[in-house]
Amino acid sequence: MDKQEIRYLEQLSESFPTIEAASTEIINLQSILNLPKGTEHFMSDIHGEYEAFSHVLKNGSGAVRKKIEDVFGHSLTTADKSALATLIYYPKEKMELVKQEEEDMDNWYKITLYRLIEVCKTVSSKYTRSKVRKSLPKDYSYVIEELISEKPEVLNKEAYYDAIVNTIVELGNAENFIVALAELIQRLVIDRLHVIGDIYDRGAGSHLIMDRLCKYHSLDIQWGNHDVLWMGAALGNKACIASAIRNSIRYGNLDMLEEGYGINMLPLATFAMDVYAKDPCTRFVLKGEVNATEMETQLVKKMHKAIAIIKFKLDGQLCKKYPEFGMSDRSMLDRIDYEHGTVKIGDVDYPMQDMHFPTIDPKDPTKLSPEEESVMKHLQSSFVHCEKLQKHMNLLMKKGSMYKTFNGNLLYHGCMPMNEDGTFAKVWVFGKEYKGKELYDALESYVRKAVFSVDKKEKKKAEDIFWFLWTGPKSPLYGRDKMATFERYFLNDEEIKKEKKNLYYNLLDKAETAETVLKEFGLCPTKGHIINGHVPVHRMDGENPVKCGGKLIIIDGGFSKTYRKETGIAGYTLIYNSYGLTLAAHDPFVSKEEAVEKEIDIASRQEAVQYTDRRILVGDTDNGKTMKCRIKELKALIAAYRLGQIKEKTK
């Protein structure tokens, strides 16, 4: 045994000072290795749809209902099982409805408690007592542990449990206890949540989703282009701020900005009313349902145009600053012929549908006017100093990454930039060329430099990477040749508005595409999978979310209401448990009230992607591999103790 190994084992001995301590840990780890692996839950492209997200989180994409089926089988009616599932999702709301109809509430409490206890026993069975104990609510931890633990020393178990349940009801604690059990089931049914990007924009509840994720027990996030947009905005990048505000206004989400994050929109509103007072801003309509008066609508349209013009100016500045990003032709205001009212795209001059640009100097189109500079200064200050926004962005930095490899699967939001022949495309980033995994690693490095670098010049440069990740044609988080925002506002030609996808998406019918990417990230090409979001799957057109011969699964199915007409569903989610991978297609979520009253669940269709011949154990997972390494180290420590190479630290 060399000196370095002895030094490491001496450090390990600080945690395990005796042979007995090391042996106990080995026994504990060995027992965990033989438990079934925990359930992983994958969600993507949530886009601010808080209520639908919250419901899918509560029901575990059908995982809760499956546990109820496992426990009760045919011993409960379908109606009773639906009622129990709804109670687990919304315990307080469901009990309020039950109290309006149920005559003998004490009896209902007892029956319900027994049913919840049985479900709790099942969902906790794949965890160690220690892990379950850490998940228990403090107020009821002792009692719940007594009820869900097997107690062989108790001869009359029925009388023992009856006594506990009766006491809970007699003391008037039944409702609080039911809530505690329901939340514990929700907590235990999912071991880890993976969010494959795009939490932000479109829907009005992005801030509420982030509040919920801040409290979630086990989580990782793969950044989407909409997420990095907000991360850049929170750091003060003006181009990102302008795009984030434009998105929020376009989708009618000013309340999220003003009430959710406390962003002061008054400077923009005042500026827009002054500069665009007589402009009807007919091209700047809002998307989706908008509940507003005519006067409010006119103001919002003016704000919409004002921030859009500012955005195009700031985009143009960055396009010229970083020609390596391949976006020089996207400085659209420089391409307008202000005398003839046309814009040159490629070799074609297209007629502009709006030429009222009071703040644009044709000699220097991308320069902000003094008034626009003032507006952006105020908005930048609001974003940078918003405590809640900074808390949410800190979570994205702490739990987030460009990609993640986990239990043999590769998780990323967008695409792997590719050439037509299936090789990895080269991308220039700040003077250096990257491709494949190296590209992802380099981009993540710059994201973190923007937050943590002490070099002011490097930090400032890194802040602009968020803008590239949001909209760049070679960005792996965006993956289209352009973001045709300008064309949608100002041109009527439908062909020029189309955004061509990266060649990656043309290669998804070939199994070797996924195999090439999996190998690049060090994963097994035969057993691994790529879990992907970003591009909605058009199920109503017959598109299959499972691609590359079963190796790649796209789970963006349309959480966002604006996509549902295209996709035909309201989102895909994925479950990976000890039996394999299961894809769930969801029907639209109407409201929490309807879910409670009508006991409607939204995990409507489940499809097996891959089932295993035997149950997957903890020992088969990444965590299991780490445990096996620790067992090997502990055995070496015990050997060192016995050989006298390290002395036990007995009292």
Domain contains 540: no
Q: How far is CA 431 from CA 402, 461, 475, in A?
A: 20, 12, 15
Q: How far is CA 220 from CA 42, 197, 223, 451, in A?
A: 10, 10, 10, 19
Which of 137-146, 270-279, 300-309 has the least mean pLDDT? 137-146
**Token pair of 203 as six digits:** 């829907």
The stretch 182-197 carries a mean pLDDT of 95
pLDDT tier at 1 (50, 70, 90 boundaries)?
Answer: confident
- Report angle CA 80, 86, 91 to the nearest 5 degrees: 115
User: What mean pLDDT value characterizes the chain?
Assistant: 91
Q: What interhelical angle do 105-124 and 91-101 show, nearest 10?
A: 150
How many CA atoms within 13 Å lie on the side-chain side of 288? 17
pLDDT tier at 145 (50, 70, 90 boundaries)?
Answer: confident
What is the secondary structure of 334-351 as a DSSP string? GGEETTTTEEEETTEEEE
Phi, psi of 309 (to 5 degrees): -65, -40
Quote the pLDDT of residue 152: 57
Pair (251, 356) in one structural domain? yes
Quote the pLDDT of residue 592: 80
Q: How many CB atoms lie within 10 A of CB 1?
A: 12
Which of 367-371, 417-421, 567-571 has the least mean pLDDT? 567-571
Q: Which of 300, 198, 311 is nearest to 563 (CA)?
A: 198
* Residue 153 predicted with pLDDT over 80: no
Domain contains 27: yes
Highest mean pLDDT among 53-67, 290-304, 519-533: 519-533
Pair (295, 434) in one structural domain? yes
Pair (286, 369) in one structural domain? yes
Quote the pLDDT of residue 156: 63
325 Cβ contact partners less than 8 Å away, ≥ 6 residues apart: 318, 319, 428, 468, 472, 474
Which of 442, 471, 500 marks a domain boundary? 471
Quote the pLDDT of residue 162: 86
Residue indicated by tokens 């009071």 = 358
Per the CB < 8 A criterion, the answer to whether 607 and 598 are in contact is: no
What is the secondary structure of 440-477 as a DSSP string? HHHHHHHHHHHHH-S-HHHHHHHHTHHHHHHH-TT-TT
The stretch 482-497 carries a mean pLDDT of 95
459 Cβ contact partners less than 8 Å away, ≥ 6 residues apart: 449, 450, 453
484 Cβ contact partners less than 8 Å away, ≥ 6 residues apart: 496, 497, 498, 499
Quote the pLDDT of residue 102: 87
Domain range enclosing 110: 40-196+555-616
3-state secondary structure of 547: strand
Per the CB < 8 A criterion, the answer to whether 617 and 36 are in contact is: yes
Domain contains 629: yes
Pair (62, 129) in one structural domain? yes
Quote the pLDDT of residue 122: 92
How does strand 192-195 pair with strand 219-222?
parallel
**Residue type for position 83:** A
pLDDT tier at 542 (50, 70, 90 boundaries)?
Answer: confident
Q: Which of 415, 583, 611, 434 is nearest to 508 (CA)?
A: 415
What is the secondary structure of 106-133 as a DSSP string? HHHHHHHHHHHHHHHHHHHTTS-HHHHH
**Token pair of 44 as six digits:** 């993507």
* Residue 354 predicted with pLDDT over 80: yes
**Token pair of 140 as six digits:** 């009821």
Domain count for the chain:
3
- Report angle CA 135, 136, 140 to the nearest 5 degrees: 170
Pair (301, 405) in one structural domain? yes
Q: Which of 197, 307, 199, 297 is nearest to 252 (CA)?
A: 297
In eight-state DSSP terms, residue 367 is S
Pair (325, 413) in one structural domain? yes
* Residue 489 predicted with pLDDT over 70: yes
Pair (191, 244) in one structural domain? no
The stretch 242-263 carries a mean pLDDT of 95
Please tell me the pTM assigned to this model: 0.93
* Residue 154 predicted with pLDDT over 60: no
pLDDT tier at 597 (50, 70, 90 boundaries)?
Answer: confident
In eight-state DSSP terms, residue 171 is T
Quote the pLDDT of residue 151: 58
What is the secondary structure of 127-161 as a DSSP string? S-HHHHHHHS-GGGHHHHHHHHS--TT-S-HHHHH
**Torsion on CA atoms 505, 511, 515, 516, rounded to nearest 10:** -50
CA distance 154 to 101: 37
Q: Which of 431, 415, 424, 517 is nearest to 472 (CA)?
A: 415
CA distance 389 to 392: 5
Per the CB < 8 A criterion, the answer to whether 257 and 304 are in contact is: no
Which of 421, 439, 471 marks a domain boundary? 471
Which of 152-166, 339-353, 541-555 has the least mean pLDDT? 152-166
Provide, rounded to the nearest whole percent, the portion of the chain with pLDDT above 90.
Answer: 74
Domain contains 182: yes
- Run of H or E including 241: helix 238-250
**Token pair of 217 as six digits:** 């027990």
CA distance 38 to 215: 19
Q: Which of 511, 528, 555 is nearest to 405 (CA)?
A: 528
Pair (276, 397) in one structural domain? yes
pLDDT tier at 535 (50, 70, 90 boundaries)?
Answer: confident
Which of 144-158, 415-429, 623-637 has the least mean pLDDT? 144-158
Q: How far is CA 367 from the centre of its chain?
A: 36
634 Cβ contact partners less than 8 Å away, ≥ 6 residues apart: 12, 16, 22, 23, 25, 26, 29
CA distance 69 to 620: 26
List residues bridging with 406 in a β-sheet: 409
Domain contains 432: yes
pLDDT tier at 287 (50, 70, 90 boundaries)?
Answer: confident
The stretch 599-604 carries a mean pLDDT of 67
Pair (19, 59) in one structural domain? no
Domain contains 504: no
Which of 471, 505, 521 marks a domain boundary? 471
List residues bridging with 501 in a β-sheet: 480
* Residue 566 predicted with pLDDT over 90: no
In eight-state DSSP terms, residue 278 is T
Pair (132, 157) in one structural domain? yes
Residue indicated by tokens 């205001």 = 333
The stretch 83-87 carries a mean pLDDT of 93
Domain contains 368: yes
Q: Which of 462, 424, 460 is nearest to 442 (CA)?
A: 462
* Residue 63 predicted with pLDDT over 80: yes
* Residue 100 predicted with pLDDT over 60: yes
Pair (393, 448) in one structural domain? yes
3-state secondary structure of 645: coil
Q: How many CB atoms lie within 10 A of CB 31?
A: 11
Pair (330, 424) in one structural domain? yes
